[in-house]
């Protein structure tokens, strides 16, 4: 690593592909959401800069502004001391800024070499395939990428598509690379290759922005990390400050540990709220998971045994995308486990269709209310009618109207029975979702039950949920709000990088212990 | 912000200056009328005389009115069927093939019931005709469900599945007309040997219009209006069409709804095909569907999938089709003008709706 430092200092300013990137006071609003609130960030040439934060923290918005996919409301982008005018991805590429998206933005039906040539700023009328191929092979050799130029992109793995994007961006003169969650869905070998390539590029003087919510990757790779929360920069940490350029392995175990703890602290805040959930009094189990194996193309997770009692609330903590959604979908019967069994109220529902779960009193409330939970274009009353136990052919309008009025009154929804759900505010949509919950309800699975709600609505929602618990409903919910998790859970499980912690009583948790678990130490 | 941010950048900034949505719809309609007038002027006639000639051509004589009704009846059936698939979020372009296969099935039934060379059918003619229409419906269902299965289980776009099956159905019809079912001695594009006159569907007087077909068309339409407005089935269908995932999560059996939509549309289209055979052509011809399925698609798109408006629009389109046949005789113009007019109306109606959605002021709520 000392060698690296030497090389960096030797780089010449004349080299056009070495760029210091500065973002100054960036603001961006989406409707009521202040996605970037006065964000400033400096990335030195020759460094790898980590950008950490939960989903919704604003990091994707920020890098999309830098790469021209989103226009900023105000603020300045300065490259090597000169203001840059970036309005489109093509502009950004002219300034040498290239972005690697989480899901590679390539052309799957084309071959690797065709992709490589596409998007080149200097495309002549006739393609020179042979020259492109020479260039392609040379770049691949340089980074030990084993890519067949004539393979179809649709046949490549995500990791290989990333490699293709990297060489394509480099060939197009990128001096700044932005990588958005690049380590999701790639193999360990590909990750090593990627990290080696990125280190080498940094040594060559390129600036690299590494967006992630994986602590371990940031720790292993980055020179410097900026943490964002709720649209703002909440902290910056120079990971190589002590002993200038010390490699990851050189950190004493205790010190590494401190770094992780400090980052988690920046991401989530220090003090945890006090638990408010009343104790449960029932011993009957509502949901039992036995030897459950969950598998997606990105993750594989295992749960030995988990028994959730009636009236119990299990909070699911962890950085977003650690498999919480897959877990909840599996418990809801919307996905099938690769192995293991699921029991609801003592009945084995493993591999049963979703309708059997519904019949057993399982209900799933997705985070994306308008995309997965409610049906745009239908009114509150029509949702109620859809949920009513339909006996007969014709809709009982009177009953549906009455039921809708009742739901609107009890759940305090600001709308009329004939109001289309997409016209409701986020809070009222969540109230509508809650109003549509069936009764009796044995197991309720929720993602981010109060995301986007104001404090009053949040309290109200939890009042309703705890009322359900008192009637015997078991609740499992995932949230990125640690306060919410500690306040309302009886027990907490933590998801981290494909591993699931054993359940821990919420009262026994401290900010430190929870932070370490989220960072993957349990 | 992952992903969520990108689509928001697509919304145009002009929302503040938006007009009420009806403005765009009426505006688009006006523009389409102006363009129609322009097309007529370019082809060297006056719009007024063309309209006069078309009205005369559609409603001038009892015979012409009969033809309008003969076009309207199967059009109503197809449009009613397409209401189900459109509301389920499906572009069932396979409706043409479903008509054709219904016609093939009905022809097959009639050939069984009244073998060539026999002096009378095995069953009393009204029963035989009813049976043929029924079998036609079953044939339409088969073709519809085939497209549905390809879509639901094979994950093939229903548009491509439908178009592919359209070609297959036409291919089968041509094969039968030139092969197993060819007229004794000659095989020709004019179709199979006409059926015995006893198996022809009765008509209003000497016109081409048959009361049975009209009644079936109206019944199908009425049933569709009731189903879409008043039944749980219709509500679930709309739920699935607007948000398949959410409907499924809310407990709607989504696959069953989708397949039901294909089934009902296939049924109506198949009956329409059978009626073309027993009521209009009295034999199987290669182009037995007469593009009524595509016309039905235009009708349903023009009424924004709301069955209430199908009758007037279908009547208007039928009248355009028949009225335009007069143009070559009276004004020396191409009869394909009606297609241009229909296409323009639908295109601009869709454009108006799109603009209203993007730029229109949202209703207070």
Mutation target among B3, B5, B241 for the A interface, most CBs of A within 10 A: B5
For residue A470, is pLDDT > 80? yes
Residues A293, A346: Cα–Cα separation, whole Å: 20
pLDDT at residue number A121: 62
pLDDT digits (tens, 9 = 90+) for B302-337: 888 889 899 999 999 999 999 988 888 888 888 888
> With pLDDT > 70 as the criterion, what percentage of chain A qualifies?
89
For residue A515, is pLDDT > 90? no
Interchain contact A395–B (C-beta under 8 A): yes
Name beta bridge partners: A339: A293
Name the A residues in 100-129 with CB < 8 Å from any B CB: 102
pLDDT at residue number A3: 42
Average pLDDT, chain A: 83
Contact at CB, B236 and A58, closer than 8 angstroms: no
3-state class percentages of chain B: helix first, strand second, coil last, to nearest 5: 70, 0, 30
Split at pLDDT 50, 70, 90, the class of B137 is: very high
**Pairs across A and B, CB distance < 8 A:** 94
Give me the residue from B5, B233, B365 closest to A70, CB to CB: B5
Beta-carbon contacts of A484 under 8 Å, excluding residues fewer than 6 positions away, are A315, A449, A450, A458
Beta-carbon contacts of B229 under 8 Å, excluding residues fewer than 6 positions away, are none
Residues B103, A129: Cα–Cα separation, whole Å: 54
pLDDT digits (tens, 9 = 90+) for B221-251: 999 999 999 999 999 999 999 999 999 999 8
Contacts of A404 in chain B (CB under 8 A): none
Determine the residue of chain B that is closest to A211 in CA distance.
Answer: B2
Q: Do A18 and A62 touch, CB atoms closer than 8 A?
A: no
- The 3-class secondary structure across A124-152, one letter per residue, is CCCCCHHHHHHHHHHHHHHCCCCCCCCCE
Contact at CB, A386 and B8, closer than 8 angstroms: no
Contact at CB, A375 and B6, closer than 8 angstroms: no
DSSP assignment string, A447-515: ESTTTT--HHHHHHHHHHHHHHHHTT-EEEEE-S-HHHHHHH-SEEEEEETTEEPPPEEGGG--HHHHH
pLDDT at residue number A1: 39
pLDDT at residue number A257: 56
Highest mean pLDDT among A196-200, A320-324, A506-510, B133-137: B133-137
Where is average pLDDT lowest: A304-313, B16-25, B260-269, B284-293? B16-25
Contacts of B365 in chain A (CB under 8 A): 415, 419-420, 423
Beta-carbon contacts of B186 under 8 Å, excluding residues fewer than 6 positions away, are none
**Alpha-carbon dihedral of residues A154, A157, A159, A165, nearest 10 degrees?**
-10
Contacts of A378 in chain B (CB under 8 A): 235, 238-239, 242
Find the mean pLDDT for residues A34-57.
Answer: 87
In angstroms, the Cα distances linking A12 to A15, B15, B35, B216 are 6, 49, 64, 84
pTM: 0.76
Q: What is the third-level CATH fold of B44-333? A: ABC transporter involved in vitamin B12 uptake, BtuC (1.10.3470)
pLDDT at residue number A516: 77
Q: Do B277 and B132 touch, CB atoms closer than 8 A?
A: yes
For residue B176, is pLDDT > 70? yes
State the angle between helix axes of B62-87 and B254-275 in degrees (0 to 180), rounded to the nearest 10.
170
pLDDT at residue number A17: 55
Find the mean pLDDT for residues A432-450.
Answer: 90
B347: left (phi over 0), alpha (psi -120 to 50) or beta: alpha
For residue A377, is pLDDT > 80? yes
Give me the residue from B8, B230, B252 closest to A386, CB to CB: B252
Q: Which two tokens stand for residue A302?
A: 């295992």
Find the mean pLDDT for residues A480-488.
Answer: 85
pLDDT at residue number A293: 93
Mutation target among A29, A179, A386 for the B interface, most CBs of B within 10 A: A386
> With pLDDT > 90 as the criterion, what percentage of chain A qualifies?
32
pLDDT at residue number A243: 40
Contact at CB, A374 and B1, closer than 8 angstroms: no
For residue A255, is pLDDT > 60? no
State whether residue B125 is helix, strand or coil.
Answer: helix
Contacts of B248 in chain A (CB under 8 A): 354
Task: Report the length, in residues, of chain B.
Answer: 365
Name the A residues in 121-180 with CB < 8 Å from any B CB: 180
Residues B224, B232: Cα–Cα separation, whole Å: 13
Give me the residue from A31, A377, A423 closest to B242, CB to CB: A377
Split at pLDDT 50, 70, 90, the class of A508 is: confident
CATH of A272-361+439-522, picked from 2.60.40.1250, 2.60.120.330, 3.40.50.2300, 3.40.50.300, is: 3.40.50.300
Find the mean pLDDT for residues A233-242.
Answer: 79
Contacts of A70 in chain B (CB under 8 A): 5-6, 9
Task: Locate the domains of chain B by residue range.
Answer: 44-333
Contacts of B253 in chain A (CB under 8 A): 355
pLDDT at residue number A314: 95
pLDDT at residue number A349: 94
Mutation target among A356, A375, A382 for the B interface, most CBs of B within 10 A: A375
Strand A82-83 versus strand A74-79 pairing type? antiparallel
Task: Locate the domains of chain A by residue range.
Answer: 2-105+175-268, 272-361+439-522, 375-437
pLDDT digits (tens, 9 = 90+) for A277-303: 777 777 889 999 999 999 887 678 899
For residue A44, is pLDDT > 80? yes
Contact at CB, B238 and A378, closer than 8 angstroms: yes
Q: Do B353 and B347 touch, CB atoms closer than 8 A?
A: no
pLDDT digits (tens, 9 = 90+) for A393-419: 888 888 899 999 999 988 888 889 999
Contacts of A387 in chain B (CB under 8 A): 250-251
DSSP assignment string, A82-116: EE----SHHHHHHTTEEEE-SS--S-TTSBHHHHH
Split at pLDDT 50, 70, 90, the class of B362 is: low
For residue B151, is pLDDT > 90? yes
Return the number of other C-beta atoms located less than 10 Å from residue A347's C-beta: 11
In angstroms, the Cα distances linking B168 to A76, A109, A223, B36 are 60, 28, 63, 35
Where is average pLDDT lowest: A160-164, A414-418, B353-357? B353-357
Mind telling me how many Å the CA of B230 is from chain A's nearest CA?
A: 6
CATH of A2-105+175-268, picked from 3.10.250.10, 3.40.50.300, 3.90.1300.10, 3.40.1080.10, is: 3.40.50.300
Return the number of other C-beta atoms located less than 10 Å from residue A150's C-beta: 10
Nearest to A193 by CA among A219, A174, A221: A221
Where is average pLDDT lowest: A68-82, A204-218, A234-248, B324-338? A234-248
Name the A residues in 319-378 with CB < 8 Å from any B CB: 334, 354-355, 358, 364, 366, 371-378
Return the number of other C-beta atoms located less than 10 Å from residue A77's C-beta: 21
Residues A496, A522: Cα–Cα separation, whole Å: 9
- What φ, ψ does residue A216 adopt, rounded to 5°? -65, -40
For residue B294, is pLDDT > 90? yes
For residue B15, is pLDDT > 60? no
Interchain contact A390–B (C-beta under 8 A): yes
**Omega prior to A136 cis, within 30 of 0:** no
Q: Do domains A2-105+175-268 and A272-361+439-522 have the same CATH topology?
A: yes
Beta-carbon contacts of A112 under 8 Å, excluding residues fewer than 6 positions away, are A136, A147, A148, A149, A150, A151, A152, A153, A156, A164
Residues A316, A100: Cα–Cα separation, whole Å: 30
Contacts of B236 in chain A (CB under 8 A): 386
Contacts of A376 in chain B (CB under 8 A): 242-243
pLDDT digits (tens, 9 = 90+) for B27-38: 888 999 899 899
pLDDT at residue number B212: 94
Return the number of other C-beta atoms located less than 10 Å from residue A250's C-beta: 13
Nearest to A246 by CA among A236, A256, A254: A256
For residue A244, is pLDDT > 50? no
pLDDT at residue number B193: 87
Q: Tell me, what DSSP letter sits at residue A204?
A: T
Residues A7, A3: Cα–Cα separation, whole Å: 6
**What is the H or E stretch that residue A306 is in?**
strand A300-309
Name beta bridge partners: A394: B231
Interface of chain B toward chain A, CB-CB under 8 angstroms: 1-3, 5-6, 8-9, 230-233, 235-236, 238-239, 242-243, 245-253, 362, 365
Mind telling me how many Å the CA of A370 is from chain B's nearest CA?
A: 8
Nearest to B316 by CA among B22, B26, B58, B48: B58
Name the A residues in 460-519 with CB < 8 Å from any B CB: none
């Amino acid at each position: 690593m000392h060698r690296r430092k030497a090389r960096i200092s030797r780089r010449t300013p004349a080299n056009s592909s070495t760029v210091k990137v500065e973002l100054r006071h960036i603001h961006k609003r989406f409707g009521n959401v202040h996605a970037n609130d006065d964000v400033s960030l400096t990335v030195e040439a020759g460094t790898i800069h980590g950008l950490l934060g939960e989903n919704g923290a604003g990091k994707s918005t920020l890098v999309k502004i830098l790469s021209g996919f989103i226009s900023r409301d105000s603020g300045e982008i300065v490259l090597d001391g000169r203001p840059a005018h970036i309005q489109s991805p093509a502009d950004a590429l002219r300034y040498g800024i290239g972005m690697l998206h989480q899901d590679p933005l390539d052309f799957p039906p084309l071959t690797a070499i065709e992709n490589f040539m596409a998007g080149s700023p200097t495309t002549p009328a006739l393609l020179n395939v042979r020259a492109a191929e020479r260039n392609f092979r040379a770049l691949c050799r340089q980074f030990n990428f084993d890519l067949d130029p004539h393979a179809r992109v649709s046949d490549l793995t995500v990791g290989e598509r990333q490699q293709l994007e990297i060489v394509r961006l480099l060939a197009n003169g990128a001096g700044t690379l932005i990588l958005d969650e690049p380590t999701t869905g790639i193999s360990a070998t590909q990750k090593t290759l990627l990290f080696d390539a990125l280190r080498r590029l940094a040594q060559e003087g390129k600036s690299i922005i590494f967006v992630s919510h994986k602590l371990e990757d940031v720790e292993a790779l980055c020179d410097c990390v900026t943490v964002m929360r709720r649209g703002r920069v909440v902290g910056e940490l120079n990971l190589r400050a002590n002993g200038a350029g010390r490699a990851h392995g050189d950190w004493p175990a205790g010190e590494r540990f401190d770094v992780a703890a400090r980052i988690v602290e920046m991401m989530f805040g220090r003090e945890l709220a006090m638990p408010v959930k009343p104790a449960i009094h029932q011993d009957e189990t509502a949901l039992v998971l036995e030897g459950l194996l969950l598998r997606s193309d990105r993750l594989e997770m295992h749960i030995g045994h988990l028994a959730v009692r009636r009236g119990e609330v299990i909070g699911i903590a962890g950085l977003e995308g650690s498999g919480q959604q897959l877990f909840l979908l599996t418990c809801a019967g919307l996905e099938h486990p690769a192995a293991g069994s699921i029991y609801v109220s003592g009945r084995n529902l493993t591999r049963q269709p979703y309708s059997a779960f519904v019949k057993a009193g399982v209900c799933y409330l997705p985070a994306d209310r308008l995309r997965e939970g409610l049906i745009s274009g239908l009114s509150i009353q029509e949702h109620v009618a859809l949920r009513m136990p339909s006996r007969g052919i014709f809709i009982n309008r009177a009953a549906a109207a009455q039921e809708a009025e009742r739901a609107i009154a009890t759940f305090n929804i600001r709308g009329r029975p004939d109001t289309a759900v997409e016209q409701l505010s986020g809070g009222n949509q969540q109230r509508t979702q809650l109003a549509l919950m069936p009764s009796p309800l044995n197991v309720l699975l929720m993602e981010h039950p109060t995301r986007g709600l104001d404090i009053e609505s949040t309290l109200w929602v939890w009042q309703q949920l705890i009322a359900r618990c008192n009637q015997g409903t078991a609740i499992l919910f995932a949230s990125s709000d640690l306060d919410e998790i500690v306040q309302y859970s009886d027990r907490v499980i933590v998801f981290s990088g494909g591993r699931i912690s054993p359940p821990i009583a919420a009262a026994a948790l401290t900010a430190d212990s929870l932070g370490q678990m989220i960072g993957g130490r349990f | 912000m992952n992903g969520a941010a990108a689509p928001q950048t697509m919304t145009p900034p002009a929302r503040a200056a938006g007009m009420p949505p009806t403005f765009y719809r009426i505006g688009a309609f006006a523009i389409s009328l102006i363009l129609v007038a322009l097309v007529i002027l370019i082809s060297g006639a006056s719009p007024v005389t063309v309209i006069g000639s078309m009205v005369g051509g559609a409603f001038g004589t009892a015979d012409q009115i009969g033809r309008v009704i003969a076009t309207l009846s199967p059009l109503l059936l197809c449009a009613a069927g397409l209401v189900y698939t459109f509301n389920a979020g499906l572009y069932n372009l396979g409706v043409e093939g479903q008509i054709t296969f219904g016609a093939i099935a009905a022809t097959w039934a009639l050939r069984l019931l009244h073998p060539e060379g026999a002096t009378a059918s095995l069953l009393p003619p009204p029963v035989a005709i009813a049976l043929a229409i029924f079998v036609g419906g079953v044939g339409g269902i088969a073709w519809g469900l085939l497209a549905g299965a390809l879509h639901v289980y094979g994950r093939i776009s229903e548009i491509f599945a439908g178009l592919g099956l359209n070609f297959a159905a036409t291919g089968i019809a041509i094969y039968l007309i030139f092969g197993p079912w060819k007229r004794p001695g000659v095989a020709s594009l004019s179709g199979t040997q006409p059926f015995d006159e006893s198996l022809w569907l009765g008509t209003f007087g000497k016109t081409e219009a048959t009361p049975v077909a009209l009644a079936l068309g109206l019944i199908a339409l009425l049933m569709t209006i009731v189903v879409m407005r008043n039944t749980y089935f219709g509500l679930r269908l709309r739920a699935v069409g607007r948000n398949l995932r959410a409907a499924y999560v809310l407990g709607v059996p989504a696959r069953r709804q989708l397949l039901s939509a294909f089934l009902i549309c296939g049924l109506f289209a198949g009956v329409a095909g059978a009626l073309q055979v027993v009521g209009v052509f009295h034999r199987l011809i290669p182009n037995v569907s007469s593009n009524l399925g595509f016309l039905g698609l235009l009708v349903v798109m023009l009424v924004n999938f709301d069955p209430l408006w199908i009758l007037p629009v279908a009547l208007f389109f039928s009248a355009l089709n028949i009225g335009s046949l007069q143009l070559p005789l009276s004004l020396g113009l191409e009869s394909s003008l009606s297609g241009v007019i229909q296409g323009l109306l639908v295109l601009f109606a869709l454009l108006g709706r799109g603009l209203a959605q993007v730029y229109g002021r949202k209703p207070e709520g």
